[in-house]
């Protein structure tokens, strides 16, 4: 039996019963399952009508030692059991600020927006793992409220929770949540030069600095220069963080 979710966490968009005209086709679930089989990331679906999980993939990163079926049954109670109190407060803030932002977006554009942020999960063995959480609308109600969303979970490349950003598909625009406040600061995605992108893509293929230098006919020190420029532009500390940022921000 599913436990009733506690009040306060991520409930600003809680919906009542959705009427049949809002439901549409149901084949999407098979598509989500197929996607989950192909990706290394954890995938799950949130249903805001009753704050439950409609689907949870069997990737162990999000499960915290449970089976996918057990997490599915827990629904939102999973967060209360496996997110530290301080990070729960952060999730509340993200929820309020996120839905306030969403309310200002034209209804016909709402599916174009996605949000990404980092928070800790506590594994059954007590270990805290910082994960990145990406959420995008899957279905809206007839009046444009969020009905179901698709969530992707991967390891975070940051050192601390937060790092909240909203992206719009097909746009260079990006919004960052000011730490501790419900204020969004608009900016643009960082850009890389053609050569910097090439160097980063070759790193993604597993090539070393010397191998990249041979591939693009430059000295190894030149590759190191491009790496430093990439780190500065993306505000990261190493190539692993740079690759993670570039993939999450669709720079590659």
Q: What pLDDT sits at residue 16?
A: 63
Measured in degrees and rounded to the nearest 5, phi and psi for residue 223 equal: -65, -40
The answer to whether residues 106 and 210 belong to one domain is no
For residues 148-177, one letter each, b for 16 or more C-beta atoms within 10 angstroms of the residue's C-beta and e for the rest, the string is bbbbbbbebbbeebbbbbbbeeeeeebbeb
The answer to whether residues 103 and 205 belong to one domain is no
Environment class of 62 (CB within 10 Å of its CB; exposed 0-12, middle 13-18, buried 19+): buried
- Classify residue 112: in a domain, yes or no: yes
Q: What pLDDT sits at residue 72?
A: 95
> CA-CA distance, 13 to 97, in Å (whole number)?
12
Q: Are 148 and 45 in contact (CB under 8 A)?
A: yes
- Classify residue 161: in a domain, yes or no: yes
The answer to whether residues 50 and 70 belong to one domain is yes
> CA-CA distance, 102 to 113, in Å (whole number)?
9
The answer to whether residues 237 and 122 belong to one domain is no
Biggest CA pair distance of the chain: 64
Q: What pLDDT sits at residue 51?
A: 87
The CATH number of the domain holding residue 168 is 3.30.450.20
Q: What pLDDT sits at residue 138?
A: 92
- Classify residue 79: in a domain, yes or no: yes
Of the three residues 188, 203, 237, the one that is the final residue of a domain is 188
Q: What pLDDT sits at residue 1?
A: 44
Token pair for 94: 């993200």
From first to last of the 252 residues of the chain, give the pLDDT tens digit: 444 445 455 556 666 666 554 455 568 899 999 999 998 899 999 999 888 999 999 999 999 999 999 999 999 999 999 999 999 999 999 999 999 999 999 999 999 999 999 999 999 889 999 999 999 999 998 888 999 999 999 999 888 999 999 999 888 889 999 988 999 999 888 889 999 999 999 999 999 999 999 999 999 999 999 999 999 998 888 898 888 888 777 777
Q: What pLDDT sits at residue 21?
A: 44
Number of domains in the chain: 2
The CATH number of the domain holding residue 200 is 1.10.10.10
**What value, to the nearest 5°, has the Cα angle with vertex 22 and ends 20 and 28?**
100
Structural domain that includes position 101: 20-188
């Amino acid at each position: 039996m599913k436990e009733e979710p506690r009040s306060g966490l991520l409930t600003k968009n809680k919906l009542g019963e959705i009427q049949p005209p809002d439901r549409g086709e149901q084949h999407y679930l098979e598509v989500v399952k197929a996607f989950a089989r192909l990706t290394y990331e954890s995938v799950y679906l949130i249903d805001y009508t009753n704050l439950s999980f409609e689907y949870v993939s069997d990737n162990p990163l999000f499960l915290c030692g449970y089976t996918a079926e057990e997490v599915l049954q827990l629904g939102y109670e999973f967060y209360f059991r496996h997110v530290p109190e301080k990070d729960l407060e952060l999730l509340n803030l993200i929820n309020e600020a996120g839905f306030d932002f969403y309310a200002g977006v034209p209804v016909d554009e709402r599916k174009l927006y996605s949000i990404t942020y980092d928070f800790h999960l506590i594994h059954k063995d007590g270990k805290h793992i910082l994960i990145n959480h990406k959420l995008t609308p899957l279905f809206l109600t007839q009046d444009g409220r969020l009905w179901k969303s698709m969530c992707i979970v991967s390891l975070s490349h940051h050192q601390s929770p937060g790092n909240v950003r909203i992206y719009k598909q097909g746009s260079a625009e990006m919004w960052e949540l000011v730490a501790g406040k419900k204020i969004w600061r608009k900016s643009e995605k960082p850009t890389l030069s053609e050569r910097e992108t090439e160097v980063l893509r070759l790193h993604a293929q597993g090539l070393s600095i010397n191998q990249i230098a041979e591939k693009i006919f430059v000295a190894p020190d030149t590759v190191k220069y491009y790496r430093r420029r990439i780190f500065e532009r993306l505000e990261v500390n190493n190539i692993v963080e740079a690759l993670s940022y570039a993939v999450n921000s669709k720079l590659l």
